[in-house]
Amino acid sequence: MSVPTDGDEVPVLEVRGLVKHYSSGSRLTRDRRVVRAVDGIDLTIGRGEIVGLVGESGSGKSTVGKCVTRLTTPTAGTIRLLGRDITHLSRARMRPLRSQVHVVFQDPFSSLNPRMTVEQIVSEPLKQHGVGSRRDRESTVGEMLEKTGLARELRSRYPHELSGGQRQRVALARALVLRPALVVADEPVSALDVSVQASILNVILDLQADLGFSCLFITHELSVVEFISDRIAVMYLGKIMEETTRERLFREPQHPYTQALLSAAPSADPAAVRAQERIILSGDIPSPAAELPGCPFHTRCPVAVERCRTERPALTAKADPEHRTACHLVTADGAPDLQALARA
Amino acid sequence: MTAAVSAVVPARPRPQWRRIARRFLHRPMAIVGLVLVLAFIALAVVGPMLTSDPDLQDFQVVLSPPSLAHPLGTDDLGRDVLARVANGARVSLLAGVVSTAIALVVGITLGLISGFYRGWFDAVLGRIVDVLLAFPFLIFAVGLAAILGASLTNVIAALAISQVPAVIRIARGEAMSIRDQEYVSGAIADGSRDGAIILKYVLPNAASAFIVQATVAIPAAIIGEATLSFLGLGVQPPNASWGILLTGAQQYLAQAPYLAVFPGLAIALTTLGFNLLGDGLRDALDPKGHR
C-alpha cells in the first residue's frame, strides 16, 4: 500500500486554504452569483484523531466533507490524504485511493442502494477494489457487521426492512470494511432518534478504538461533538472561527461566536442553566452569496469594533499553540467575555 | 425483548428470486396476465402444428360461422380462421416482442449513458431524440416501413427504430435523477467504476420504469404490426398476421362479423395480458412491496 511508514509524521488529512464556490444564475446575463460555501479553511487530522466540525446549517461544513472525500472538486486550496495531494485527481486516479477514505451520510434512508441486500452493500467496496476471494469477502463482511452490532439474520435484508439505527450501522460497516485511514461522518446521527443516537455514537467510538481510523465528524449538535471529538473546529459562513481541544473549547471558549453557540446549547443541569446567561444574537446568518468584508461574524457580534468590519481576522494561536481563534479581540492577554456582558 | 426480535426474523432467509416469485404469485391480476401471455405464446408455438393448413382453401364452406369443424369459422376463401389466427399469433408476437426488446436494449444503453454523463454526448443525442419524438410513433413506423420495404424483418426494424427515442427519453430521465441520489455518492466513495455504478445502481433502480414501458410498448408494437400489415406495408398475404386478418375482415363486417371479432379479440387479450403481467412484475420487483 501507499501508506507512508513514518507513522505520525504525516497527518492523515491536511487541508490548506480550501475554497469551494458554487455559482448560480445564468451564464449569459450579468446576475451571476457566487456562493462561497467554503472560504479558505485549514484543517489537519492526525492518526486516530476524531475532529469535530460544528456549525449552523449553511456554514459550509458538509461541503468540507464533500471536498475531502472528493465527491466534489474544490475551487482552490490543497487536500492531502496521507501526504498525497488529492485536490485535483480525476475520478479514475482517485479510485484506488478510495480504500483510504470513506463517508457516512446523514440520511441512512437514501445513502443505501434499495436494490441491494445488507451483505451486498457491505461487500461492494471489497469487490470494487478486488480484495480477497468470494469466501474471504464473505467472512470480512460478517466480521464487520458483527463489529457494528448487526444481527447475522439481517444480512440478507434490504435497507427498507431495517430501522434507521440498523441502517446507519450498515453504512458504518460499508465505510469501514476496507479499513480506511479516514472516515468522514456527515451528521451521522442527526436523522436518528435520540435514544438511537447514543448507541451509534458508542459504536463509532468502539470501532475507532478497535480499528484506529481518523474521523472528521461533522455535526450541528454541540452535545454530540462534546461526546465524540478529540479536537473541535467551529465553522461560521465558510470559515473556521475557533479550533482547539474539546476540553478547552467547552471550558474557555474564546471566540464570541463560540461563546454564543455554547450558551445556546441545552443542558440537563438546572444549576448550570441558571448560572449561565443565554447570549442572544440578533439577526440571521448572512447569505454566503454576499461578499462580506472583515470578519464574517461582525454583523451579529455584540462586541464588534470598527476593525472587525474592514479586516478579516486570520485563524491564529494567541496564548496557547493548541488554541487557535480568528478574532481581532482575542489576544494573548485574554478574550471578550460575552457572559459577563450579558449579565451586566 | 430479544425473543420478540428473533421471532420477527425468519430462521433462514429466502433467496431473492423466490421472494420475487412469492410477491408475484400473491397478485391475482398478475397471474391472469401471465396466463394470458403464456396462452398466446402457446397458441403461437403449438397452435400452427395442431390446426389445419392456414392457406388451405375450401370453397364448400366460404364465410361459414363457427362450427365443430371450424371453431372460429371460415373466411371468404374458405380458410380456417382458427388456423390463421394461430399462425398470425407467431407474426404478431414476434414483431411485438422482438422489436420492443431491440428498442429497449438500444434505448436503455444510450439513454443511461446520456443521462449519467451528460456533456456533449447528451446534448447531441437529446436534440436528435427531440426531432424524432416530433413524429407520432405510427407515422414514423409507417414511413420507415415504406422506405425499408415490406417484409417481417423490415417491419420489426421499423417498429424497433420508432420506439427507440421514447425509451432513450425515459432512460435518460431515470439516470439523471438516480445519479443525484446519495447512494450513488456512496458508490463513488466505495471506489466503484462508472460501469458498475450504471449496472448495479442506476439500472436496477430504473428497472420498474422500463418494465412499465415494455408492457405498454409490446402491445403498441403488436398494434403497429397490425397497422403496417393492414396498410400493406408489413407481412404480405396470403401469410397470416392479425393485421392482415382484420384487413380481410373489413369487407365482410356485415355478413361475417366473427372474421373481425377473433383477431381483434386476440389483439385485445394479448395487450391486456402484457399490461397485467407488467403491473405484477413491477410490484413484485419493488423490494419495498409487501410480502
Provide the pLDDT confidence category of residue B71 given band limits of 50, 70 and 90.
confident
Q: Which residues of B are less than 8 Å from A156 in CB distance?
A: 13
Residue B92 CB partners (closer than 8 Å, separation 6+): B44, B222, B225, B226, B241, B242, B243, B266, B267, B270
**How far is the C-alpha of A320 from the C-alpha of A155, rounded, in Å?**
49
- Which H or E run includes A245? strand A239-245
Asked if the Cβ–Cβ distance from A107 to B182 is below 8 Å, we say yes
Q: Is A155 on the interface with B (CB under 8 A)?
A: yes
Give this complex's ipTM.
Answer: 0.88
Pick from A103, A153, A174: CB nearest B9: A153
**Quick one: cell of B259?**
372474421
Region B185-191: what's the mean pLDDT? 95
Provide the pLDDT confidence category of residue A26 given band limits of 50, 70 and 90.
low
Return residue ranges of chain A for CATH 3.40.50.300.
Answer: 47-73+86-236
pTM: 0.82
Q: Which residues of B are less than 8 Å from A158 in CB distance?
A: 287
Region B201-223: what's the mean pLDDT? 89
**Quick one: cell of A279?**
447570549
Residue B72 has pLDDT above 50, yes or no: yes
Model pLDDT, residue A88: 92
- In CATH terms, the superfamily for domain A47-73+86-236 is P-loop containing nucleotide triphosphate hydrolases (3.40.50.300)
Pick from A96, A105, A158: CB nearest B186: A105
* Domains of chain B in sequence order: 17-52+72-285 (1.10.3720.10)
Most A-contacting residue of B179, B190, B192 (CB-CB within 10 A), to test interface? B190
Summarize pLDDT for A168-200 with one digit per residue, the tens: 999 999 999 999 999 999 999 998 988 899 999
Distance of CA A33 to the CA centre of its chain: 26
Q: CA A62, A30, A59 angle in degrees (round to 5)?
A: 15
Model pLDDT, residue A3: 44
Summarize pLDDT for B224-272 with one digit per residue, the tens: 888 888 888 878 777 788 888 888 878 888 887 888 888 888 888 998 9
Pick from A107, A114, A157: CB nearest B205: A114
Asked if the Cβ–Cβ distance from A95 to B187 is below 8 Å, we say no
Q: Which residues of B are less than 8 Å from A154 in CB distance?
A: 9
Asked if the Cβ–Cβ distance from A128 to B196 is below 8 Å, we say yes
Summarize pLDDT for A50-96 with one digit per residue, the tens: 999 999 888 899 999 999 999 999 999 999 999 999 999 999 999 99
Most confident of A22-26, A105-109, A274-278, B104-108: B104-108
Region A241-262: what's the mean pLDDT? 92
Asked if the Cβ–Cβ distance from A174 to B204 is below 8 Å, we say no
Asked if the Cβ–Cβ distance from B16 to A117 is below 8 Å, we say yes
Asked if the Cβ–Cβ distance from B287 to A156 is below 8 Å, we say no
Q: Which of A71, A309, A28 is nearest to B197 (CA)?
A: A71
Model pLDDT, residue B215: 85
- The mean of the pLDDT values for chain B is 84
Q: Is A162 on the interface with B (CB under 8 A)?
A: no
